[in-house]
Amino acid sequence: MRSISLSLPLAAALWSSAVTGASADFVIADAIATPKLCAGTNCIDGEVYGTEQIKVKGISPRLSFDDLSSNTGGYPFHDWQLLVNDADQFGRNLFAVNNLTLNRMPFAIEGAAPTNALYVAGDGNIGIGTALPASRLHIASPAFPGMKFDQTSAGGRTPYTWDMYGYEFELPC
């Protein structure tokens, strides 16, 4: 069963735009869509849903958060976007968080990332390759778990690289 619950002003606004042939609905009221909602250019009448309540459907869909706060007075003001896949042909399959204000992507998960590529446990422990991190940073691998440290030349420093691998021994703390 599909239903949509609308307040009286919302219903009037939708009916008015349908009668006048307006291309977009502008609603100044609370709106509740039950049980499911599809938003985007590729939603169809009779949309098939799985377990999701909200579906954003389109080519490389985006969900943007446009913060209208001013950066004066110390208020946070950055705009953010949840991004699904690059829009370019041969682009990356990924899920990412974009900082639209600074044009940066501080967090991304590529589509081929393995299960438990990064796992943050309830106690704050971080697992790489494990869902059961036993310390603040727990790296698990079937062969040669390791870490690489790169000091870049940024800031005039001499670049260095350190590789550390765990084989058959423990490093004392």
The predicted-structure confidence for 1-20, as pLDDT tens digits, reads as follows 344 444 444 444 444 444 44
- What pLDDT, on a 0 to 100 scale, did the predictor assign at position 13? 45
CA 169 from centre of chain: 38
- What pLDDT, on a 0 to 100 scale, did the predictor assign at position 1? 39
CA 77 from centre of chain: 19
- What pLDDT, on a 0 to 100 scale, did the predictor assign at position 96? 97
Distance from C-alpha of 86 to C-alpha of 65, rounded to nearest angstrom: 19
- What pLDDT, on a 0 to 100 scale, did the predictor assign at position 24? 66
Pairing of strands 31-34, 3-6: antiparallel
- Residues facing 41 on adjacent strands: none
- What pLDDT, on a 0 to 100 scale, did the predictor assign at position 23? 57
Measured CA to CA in angstroms, residue 71 lies from 65, 77, 78, 104 at distances of 16, 6, 9, 18
Distance from C-alpha of 161 to C-alpha of 163, rounded to nearest angstrom: 7
- What pLDDT, on a 0 to 100 scale, did the predictor assign at position 170? 52
- Write out residues in the chain with pLDDT < 50, as ranges: 1-22, 171
* Residue 30: how many other CB atoms lie within 10 Å: 10
- Residues facing 134 on adjacent strands: none
